[in-house]
Amino acid sequence: MNILKPEPNDYILEKALAGERISPEEALELYNTADPLKVIATAREIRNRRYDPSVVSYTMFRIVNYTNYCKVKCSFCSFHQPEESESEKVLSIEEILDKMRAAVAVGADQMFLQGGINPKIPFDYYLDVLTAVKSTLGNHIHIRAFSPGELMEMHRQTGLPLREIVRKLRQAGMDSVPGAGAEILSDRVRAVLSPSKVSVSEWVQAMETCHEENLPGSANIVIGSMEKPEEIVEHLRIVRDLQDRTGGFLAFIPWTFQRQTDRFPVRDVSAREYLKLVGICRIFFDNIPHIEASILVLGPGVGSLALLSGADDISSVVIEENVLESHGPATEAKTREFIETSGFRPVKRDLFYNYKE
Site for ligand SF4 in 252-311 (CB under 6 A): none
Instruction: Please tell me the number of Cα atoms within 13 Å of 344 on its side-chain side.
Output: 27
Considering only residues 29, 126, 129, 149, which one is a binding residue for ligand SF4 as defined by CB under 6 A? 149
- Cα–Cα distance measured from residue 67 to residue 119, given in angstroms and rounded to the nearest whole number: 11
- Cα–Cα distance measured from residue 220 to residue 177, given in angstroms and rounded to the nearest whole number: 12
Closer residue to ligand SF4, CB minimum distance, 116 or 178: 116
Of 95, 103, 102, the closest CA to residue 59 belongs to 103
Q: How far is the CB of 96 from ligand SF4 (least distance, A)?
A: 17
The DSSP line for 225-240 is SS--HHHHHHHHHHHH
Closer residue to ligand SF4, CB minimum distance, 169 or 324: 324
Closer residue to ligand SF4, CB minimum distance, 149 or 328: 149
How many Cβ atoms are within 10 Å of 67's Cβ, its own excluded? 20
Instruction: Please report, as a single letter, which amino acid is at residue 177.
Output: V
Q: How far is the CB of 73 from ligand SF4 (least distance, A)?
A: 5
Please choose, out of 7-15, 72-80, 291-299, 342-350, the segment that lies near ligand SF4 by the rule CB under 6 A.
72-80
Closer residue to ligand SF4, CB minimum distance, 252 or 257: 257
- Cα–Cα distance measured from residue 330 to residue 333, given in angstroms and rounded to the nearest whole number: 9
Judged by CB under 6 A, how many residues of this single chain contact ligand SF4? 12
Q: How far is the CB of 132 from ligand SF4 (least distance, A)?
A: 23
Tell whether residue 74 is a contact of ligand SF4 (CB under 6 A).
Answer: yes
Tell whether residue 77 is a contact of ligand SF4 (CB under 6 A).
Answer: yes
Tell whether residue 89 is a contact of ligand SF4 (CB under 6 A).
Answer: no
Q: Are 202 and 152 in contact (CB under 8 A)?
A: yes
Please choose, out of 74-82, 269-277, 282-290, 330-338, the segment that lies near ligand SF4 by the rule CB under 6 A.
74-82
Site for ligand SF4 in 157-176 (CB under 6 A): none
Q: Are 94 and 349 in contact (CB under 8 A)?
A: no
Closer residue to ligand SF4, CB minimum distance, 10 or 202: 202
Q: Helix, strand or coil for residue 47?
A: helix
Site for ligand SF4 in 200-239 (CB under 6 A): none
Considering only residues 38, 44, 62, 80, which one is a binding residue for ligand SF4 as defined by CB under 6 A? 80
Q: Are 251 and 293 in contact (CB under 8 A)?
A: no
Tell whether residue 190 is a contact of ligand SF4 (CB under 6 A).
Answer: no
Q: How far is the CB of 53 from ligand SF4 (least distance, A)?
A: 36
Closer residue to ligand SF4, CB minimum distance, 70 or 184: 70
Q: How far is the CB of 66 from ligand SF4 (least distance, A)?
A: 11
Q: Are 271 and 37 in contact (CB under 8 A)?
A: no
Direct distance between the N- and C-terminal alpha carbons of the chain, in angstroms, rounded to an integer: 44
Site for ligand SF4 in 93-132 (CB under 6 A): 116-117
Residue ranges in 159-270 assigned as alpha helix (H):
162-172, 187-193, 200-212, 229-246
Instruction: Give Rg (Cα) of the chain.
Output: 20
Closer residue to ligand SF4, CB minimum distance, 82 or 301: 82
Of 172, 165, 60, the closest CA to residue 111 belongs to 60
Helix, strand and coil content of the chain, in percent to the nearest 5, comes to: 45, 15, 40
Tell whether residue 145 is a contact of ligand SF4 (CB under 6 A).
Answer: no
Instruction: Please tell me the number of Cα atoms within 13 Å of 171 on its side-chain side.
Output: 7
Q: How far is the CB of 52 from ligand SF4 (least distance, A)?
A: 36
Query: Which backbone phi and psi does 324 adopt, to 5 degrees?
Result: -115, 155
Site for ligand SF4 in 11-70 (CB under 6 A): 70
Considering only residues 17, 37, 55, 72, which one is a binding residue for ligand SF4 as defined by CB under 6 A? 72
- Contacts with ligand SF4 by CB under 6 A lie at 70, 72-74, 77, 79-80, 116-117, 149, 194, 197
